[in-house]
Structure 1
């Protein structure tokens, strides 16, 4: 793959090429374009992803979104998460942990549908960013999307950014030796269901039974909340040995399997059967990450988000870290004396911090899985200790 070499004197007029129009790629396009920098975004899908499942955005990333001018729109679209409530499979409260503003941060934690967040970020992109949808690329084809002079169409010097997720073609081109996935030995079943308002409408539920099954559920829609409802995004984590159907080609079979997994569960304040049965969609994925690597770049090509550091979706940090990556890279590209310095600064600031989070998520998964075998009082203490340990190891959850 050719090296994109950009002399410092040309930096202001050079386009950045971004592969991937997910959360990280679109945030980078917004951050660059709002600074007057031209960029092109290539996405294999025919349009922005319509994935309607939910995610959480931690305060550090919400601050980035506020700087993109999205404060009002976030409140009009998502939910300011007030607390994480840990419960057992019968709905009894084990302990509760404040989040966002209620935990002393300057900005809230938001729960929101991924598709809604992607649309909001895209709405903040300025005209100097151009999107090319329906562009499927293989690693050996990356040269053809190199930054080009608009008049001659000839390749120019510039930066290529891989923001193309877990199965990144850019990562495969840069680091083919670092593509192995690390299994968390869990299957994740995702759904999203409208229900009567869940508790106060601002609380995330984290439930754990005595068999290693976990359920995470939280409201993601301001519009539903205004109607006295909750649109609840939920994830059921099932040990791989009991993972269920390998695909979702038979929704009835999948629904019956999930209902069987929680047949002994009961919450007075949430109809779990309806949560599964009336979901607007069901999706299966395997819990997986990759071992952190000590470089995200070669030549003038650099990774961000899941392409750089895929992590277990435990701790609500995946999209958060992609957003922080994007602003950090955009800032360094605009302020550093040249691209070599910009990339070096970006890696210095982000690699150690995110590598800690990847490893902390692994540890949290192991500890939460193990806690199911403990008696109630011991389980409570272990869950509190796990949450405290995670906060101590991940700067993103600290106020300030």
Structure 2
């Protein structure tokens, strides 16, 4: 299908929405991004861009821009919480130069994508709060102040609480995983190298990795608890609460947490993968279609993969509906596998009974020492997958 001149509205100027806008614009579509905030920005968090995400950015000509603002990861280390003892190390360098792995501040990646879409001629409209979407041959985005925006295609890349997801699938209450997470960034006063470290403790873990040339460290801390907590990325918490929950974590982790001055906290909920991704010239993308827990660091990357497949499927189809159906078919099994794998990972980090934890850690140590290539190979289905070459 020829996308030249096709009028497309993308709801949401996050990583998925901006990537989709760029992919579709490069295929000739007339794209407008609708963002409810007063600026395209994302503050206070890092993310990991694994090789499968880099494949998309490379094809879009953005690899060099990312390299100047990211830290190339050398390894993922699993460590014990008490003394920081190394349990297992995955060598990311073994993926090869053609498959780099990066740590980047989320706002830096947003900036790179925003600059690219504007340079490509995408219109970005801020302060556009969406009330609902009306699917149809000419779908309409209804804004909170009553204005309606018509398009040939509407993409809902508006995250966990997507207005379009509710229209297509109804509202389903998510499942509280009985876990809460904190996120913060701190100065790199501990000499944290280009490694993602997971310090594992009973019913808790802390992930850390460097950002912005190694000048700062991103922290994500997760704790199991019975009490419900609100879901939301921007809920402020007292740093003393974070330090109190991880007071028995020693070494580097304690030093990093001591420097936290501002922290956000949110409850972790598992949402089902949406059964319906498209209807009436509308489609879901990224977290709007398949929210995932953060334990595989694949949320942003899955959205970028979605964006590429969406553009490719539309270009190869005879019409919009056929293209959208192909998009869901090509993506659904992969994202389900990622979502399920992420959901299981926290349990592996949070072993509490000492005999079980000691035995599991010993097994990981032996496996990573004697068969490092085999351990790394378990992730080939994620990292070595290149969506730009999959038709």
Q: TM-score range by the shorter chain?
A: 0.7 to 0.9
1:206-221 matches, within 5 Å, as: 206-209=198-201, 211-221=202-212
SS at match of 1:49: coil
Which residue of 378, 382, 390 maps to 1:396? Answer: 382
49-58 vs 242-251, greater mean Cα deviation: 242-251
Deviation, structure 1 residue 323: 0.6
- After superposition, the Cα gap between the structure-2 partners of 1:284 and 1:346, relative to the gap in structure 1 and judged at 3 Å, is same
- Structure 2 unmatched runs, 5+: 387-391
Alignment pair present for 1:196 and 2:192? no
Deviation at 1:385, TM superposition (A): 8.1
Equivalent in the alignment of 1:174 = 168
Question: Residue 187 and residue 250 in structure 1: after superposition, are their counterparts in 2 closer, same or farther (change >3 A)?
Answer: closer
1:77 aligns with 69
Q: Which of these residues, 109, 125, 135, is aligned with residue 101 of structure 2?
A: 109
- 8 Å contact from structure 1 (residues 37, 128) kept in 2: no
Shifted more, 389-398 versus 24-33: the winner is 389-398
Corresponding residue for residue 323 of structure 1: 304
Structure 2: distance between partners of 1:313 and 1:289 = 11
Residues 51-98 of structure 1, C-alpha deviation per residue, up to 9 Å, x if partnerless? 231011111111111112122221110111111111111111001012
Deviations 1:328-387 (A, max 9, x none): 111222332221221122111101110111111112223333366424243342688899
- What's the CA shift string for 1:236-292, capped at 9, x where partnerless? 1011237899999885xx22222222222222xx3624x234335310011122122
Q: How does 1:378-393 map to 2 (within 5 A)?
A: 378-381=360-363, 392=378
Q: 1:258 aligns with which of 234, 237, 242?
A: 242
After superposition, the CA RMSD in angstroms is: 3.1
Alignment of 1:340-379 (within 5 A): 340-370=321-351, 373=354, 374-379=356-361
| Structure 2 SS opposite 1:214 | strand
CA drift of 1:106 comes to: 2.2
Among 161, 179, 185, the residue aligned to 2:178: 185
Correspondence 1:56-95 to 2 at 5 A: 56-89=48-81, 90-95=83-88
Q: Distance in 1 between matches of 2:197 and 2:328?
A: 35
| Deviation digits for residues 19-63 of structure 1 (CA, Å, limit 9, x no counterpart) | 111000001111122233211111111111232310111111111
Say whether the 8 Å CA contact 1:193–1:232 is kept in structure 2: yes
Q: 1:70 to 1:369 in 2, by over 3 A?
A: same
Q: 89-98 or 285-294: which moved more? A: 285-294
Stretches of structure 1 lacking an aligned partner (at least 5 in a row): 1-7, 147-152
Residue 158 (structure 1) aligned to one of 152, 171, 176: 152
1:306 is aligned to 2:287: yes
The offset of 1:220, in angstroms, is: 1.6
> CA offsets, 1:120-158, max 9 Å, x none?
111221443111111111226786538xxxxxx997661
Secondary structure of 1:190's aligned partner: strand
CA–CA distance in structure 2, aligned partners of residues 325 and 399 of structure 1: 13
1:332 aligned residue: 313
Instruction: Answer whether contact 1:36 1:128 (CA < 8 A) is retained.
Output: no
- The 3-state SS of whatever aligns with 1:332 is helix
Q: How does 1:2-21 map to 2 (within 5 A)?
A: 11-21=3-13
| Aligned residue pair count | 371
Query: TM (normalized to structure 1)?
Result: 0.83
Summarize the Cα distance change of 1:249–1:16 in structure 2 as closer, same or farther, 3 Å threshold.
closer
The whole-number CA distance in structure 2 between the counterparts of 1:55 and 1:250 is 19
TM-score scaled by length of structure 2? 0.85
Distance in 2 of aligned mates of 1:341 and 1:233: 42
